[in-house]
Amino acid sequence: MSIYDITAFGAVGDGRTDCSEAIRAAVERCRSAGGGTVYVPAGTYETGPIELVSGITLYLETGAVLRFTDRFDAYPPTFTRWSGYECYGYRPLIYGRNLERVAIKGEGVIDGRGQAWWEAYGRLKRGETVEVSPYREQLIALNEALYTTVDSTFVEWETQFLRPPLLQLFDCRYVTIEGVTLQHSPFWNTHLVYCDEVKVRGVTIRNPHDTPNGDGLDIDSCTNVTVSDCQFDVGDDCLCLKSGINEQGRRIARPTENVAVTNCIMRRGHGGIVLGSEMSGDIRRVTVSNCIFLGTDRGIRVKTNRARGGVVEDIMISNIYMRDVLCPIAVNSFYRYGVDPNDPSMTTPEAIAVTESTPVVRGLVISDVTARNARAAAAFVYGLPEMPIEDVALRNVTVEMTQDPEEQGGEPDMVKEELVMAGEGMYFKHVRGLELYRVKVKTRQGPAIRLEQVEESRDEE
């Protein structure tokens, strides 16, 4: 395969020259040749959005930086999946759709320059008038037209700032991401949608701790995925598995399945490994092993609610070390974020009728976990009265809670009511088929294990 050096097409790595056209020309040459390597040598290259092609390897040499413009008008409306909804949003900074054999490799850095996006989003949330882009009205019109023709919950597009991910591959097959650093994304960092046969190896994903919606890697309705030897330090969930939201996600019905995660390190973030809350197309057959979580809010986290439907099942977690996390294990079918507080079905503690929107969580095996200096609760597993979480096994799990008498703790997870804990043990509610084998919990206060509406529980240590 041929190599296309972007400097041969006019790119200059001085950190000032706009290299958009040079990079576009190199990608086009690669496309016309039926594939090859677009090579980025050492230097800092300013660019607008990059659209990939089948057969491409985008290779960043050591010392190479692709730095994206923060001019919002450089990112026109593009069909995407945004926070679980198919819709139009700002074009992802690196984007590929309906492609095969796509690779991004090397030792260089891909920088999304997200500060301007984060600041604009903050002003919009405060109710300030912000001229974010000439495309804003077009985006609203496109989405309002789209949502008159599909059966889905209407989203108030006027109030959303549909910031783009740094990297999104949409409906692609045979994907490899290896070695590179991806940082400072406007929204989620790396978002894989409807992809099959994916390998993510040795990648570093970074966002500042206060990045709004600064997820690391989102695997969204993808199949046959391996993630190994990666490092995450982000402002939201580190590695998140999703499959669409509510009735649209159930209608599209593309699951995330056959996912293996191993040998990764997670720092900060709201969760280390997270499933949901957009899981309406199902998540199944997932293994996570040999990972380290340092200072994440939650460690292993499953979150859903009564609007989602879908099934999370056959999840196996093993050989995990955690330190300074808020709650090592959080499984929550009553997740309150984003629900209508005026809808009693979302908040009532009483059992309601089981429908297609009732989520199912079952078949979780968590083994060989050590967590030290956890701050809120050792574990928090909270099902629905009409649909308990089923078949949960904790084996060879040791959790040492903080002994700091000043620790304020926090919410182990965001259930319908605000439950704040500090240095407490494991809490299980609405669980059917609970196995606890060689589980050791050292609390600062309260019992090691609390059970409410739990069936078939067993505690051998």
CB atoms under 10 Å from CB of 73, counted, come to: 12
Cβ–Cβ under 8 Å, residues 67 and 15: yes
For domain 237-461, give the fold.
Pectate Lyase C-like (2.160.20)
The owner of tokens 């260089």 is 108
Token pair recorded at residue 178? 């290896």
Q: Alpha-carbon distance 79 to 50, whole Å?
A: 15
DSSP string over 261-316: EES-EEEESSEEEEEESS-TT-EEEEEEEEEEEES-SEEEEEE--TTT--EEEEEE
- Torsional sign, CA 420, 425, 428, 429: negative
Token pair recorded at residue 337? 């974020």
The owner of tokens 């992809």 is 195
Q: Alpha-carbon distance 316 to 294, whole Å?
A: 20
| Domain extents in the chain | 237-461
Give residue 385's pLDDT.
Answer: 97
pLDDT in tens, 379-436: 999 999 999 999 999 999 999 999 999 999 999 999 988 999 999 999 999 999 999 9
Give residue 54's pLDDT.
Answer: 98
- Closest among 215, 318, 344 to 262, alpha carbons compared: 318
23: left (phi over 0), alpha (psi -120 to 50) or beta: alpha
| Cross-strand pairs, 36 | 56
pTM of the model: 0.95
Comparing 140-149, 197-206, 250-259, 385-394, which segment has the lowest mean pLDDT? Answer: 140-149
Helix (H) or strand (E) holding 141: helix 136-146
pLDDT in tens, 267-280: 988 999 999 999 99
- The three-state (H, E, C) secondary structure of 335-387, written as one string: CCCCCCCCCHHHHCCCCCCCCCCCCEEEEEEEEEEEEEEECCEEEEEECCCCC
Cβ–Cβ under 8 Å, residues 143 and 155: yes
Side-chain-side CA neighbours of 280 within 13 Å: the count stands at 24
Token pair recorded at residue 438? 């060689």
pLDDT in tens, 293-319: 999 999 999 999 999 999 999 999 999
Q: Alpha-carbon distance 218 to 186, whole Å?
A: 14
Q: Alpha-carbon distance 401 to 169, whole Å?
A: 40
pLDDT in tens, 58-72: 999 999 999 999 999
Cβ–Cβ under 8 Å, residues 239 and 274: yes
Higher pLDDT: 123 or 411? It is: 411
Token pair recorded at residue 339? 């629900």
Q: Alpha-carbon distance 306 to 419, whole Å?
A: 19
Beta 223-228 vs 100-106: how paired, if at all? unpaired
Q: Alpha-carbon distance 186 to 116, whole Å?
A: 8
Q: Alpha-carbon distance 256 to 285, whole Å?
A: 9
State the average pLDDT for the chain.
94
